[in-house]
Amino acid sequence: MSYDLRRPLLASLRSEAEPGCLVIGEVAQAHDGSLGMAHAFVDAIARAGADAVKFQTHVAAAESTRHEPWRVPFSPQDESRYDYWRRMELSREQWAGLKRHAEERGLLFLSSPFSLEAVELLESIGVAAWKVASGETSNPQLLARLAATGKPILLSTGMSTLAELDRVMADLAERRVPRAVLQCTSAYPCPAERVGLNLVPELRRRYACAAGLSDHSGTIYPGLAGAALGLEVLEVHVTLSREMFGPDVASSVTTAELRQLVEGVRFIERMRAHPVDKSTLDPELEALRSLFTKSVVARRDLAAGTVLQAADLALKKPGTGIPAAELESLYGRRLKVAVERDRLLRYDDLEAP
C-alpha cells in the first residue's frame, strides 16, 4: 500500500501535483547563520526540482545548556555548541522571508523545531507539515504540541527502537494526526551497510502510514533504491559544494546530484506506474522487429528444382521474409523458381510439401 503525501501537501502551491515521493532538500545548518546563504539554498534546491526545502529552527536558550558537548568540534569561531546554536538563530521576520521565498519558487517550506518556542515561531509563520528530528522523537511534550496543530508529522527514527516508535506512533494514530515515519540512521555519513532500506516497507506495514527515508549517506544511491520500493518521502542533506564549511557536508549531496536524484526518482516512478506486458508485442516494436530480426535467404544463386539443404540457405536481415525460426523446416523443400543470391525466400517460391 502506498500513501499519497506529495499531492495534498503541494496542493496549495501547484495547480497540478502528481502523486509520488515527496523529495525534501535538507539545508539544516549548512547556511552557517547567513541569511543570504539560506536564500541561496532555496534557489538551488528549487532549480534541482525538489518538492520541499527544510531547515532547522533553533532557539538556543530554549533547547540547550552551555554544557552541551560538541558532536563534532568543527567550529573555531564558537566557544561552545550553545554558542553555535545561538549563531544559527534567525528572527521571525527572517524565517517568514525564507518561507515566502520558498513558496515563490514552488517549494514547501519545512523546518524542524527543537523546542516549544521554535514550534510557536514556526506556527506563527505557517508550515505545511512538521519534520521531527531523530533526537526529538522521545520528546512527548514537543510531539503533543505538534499533534495539536493537526498538521502532518514526518518522524525520523534514527535514535529510536521499534518499542519506542510503537508508543509514539500509537499516540499519533489515536490523535488522528496525518503522519509519515522515516527510516534514518544517525551516522554522518552513513555507510551502505547501515542505511536500513529494508525497514521502509516494514515501517509502512507496522504503522499503516506513509514511510520514507532520511538519508545521510551523501550519495544518491539509497534514494534511487528507495524509489524502487515506493518511498513516500525522501529527505537528503544538501550542500552547494563539497568544499563548504560545516559538519554535514560529508553526508550531503550537491545540488547537481540532487537534480540527478530527483530526475531518477521520477523516472523510477514512471517505470513502476507502467508495468510492461510481455504476453504480446508492443505495437511500436513491430516496425523495429522487421529491421532487427532475420529472414531465410539464398546463400548462393539457386536454380529452379533445387532441393534445399543447409548449405543453400542463410539468415540475414531484414526480418520481412520467412522467419529465421523456420529455417530447418525448409530443408528438403523444392524450389519452383530460380532464386538469386541474398534474396529473401517466400513461401510461394516453394513447391507444396
Identity of the residue numbered 328: E
Q: What are residue 77's phi and psi, to 5 degrees?
A: -90, -10
* The predicted structure's pLDDT at residue 289: 86
pLDDT tens by residue, 132-174: 999 999 999 999 999 999 999 999 999 999 999 999 999 999 9
Specify the pLDDT at position 87.
87
Domains of the chain: 6-273 (3.20.20.70), 283-349 (3.90.1210.10)
Q: Are 84 and 246 in contact (CB under 8 A)?
A: no
Please say if the pLDDT value at position 96 is more than 80: yes
**What pLDDT was estimated at residue 316?**
97
In angstroms, the CA 312 to CA 243 distance is 69
- Whose CA is closest to 26, among 292, 191, 255, 329? 255
Residue 335's pLDDT is: 97
Neighbours of 155 (CB within 10 A): 28
- Looking at residues 75-104, what average pLDDT do you find? 91
Q: What is the pLDDT of residues 33-43, one digit of tens each?
A: 999 999 999 99
How far, rounded to the nearest angstrom, does the alpha carbon of residue 208 sit from its chain's CA centroid?
A: 21
- Please report which helix (H) or strand (E) contains residue 265, including its range: helix 255-273
Is the predicted pLDDT of residue 99 greater than 80, yes or no?
yes
pTM to 2 decimals? 0.88
Determine how β-strand 295-298 pairs with β-strand 313-316.
antiparallel
CA distance 199 to 187: 16
Res 69: pLDDT: 83
**DSSP assignment string, 56-125:** EE--HHHH--TTPPPSS---TT-SSHHHHHHHH---HHHHHHHHHHHHHTT-EEEEEESSHHHHHHHHHH
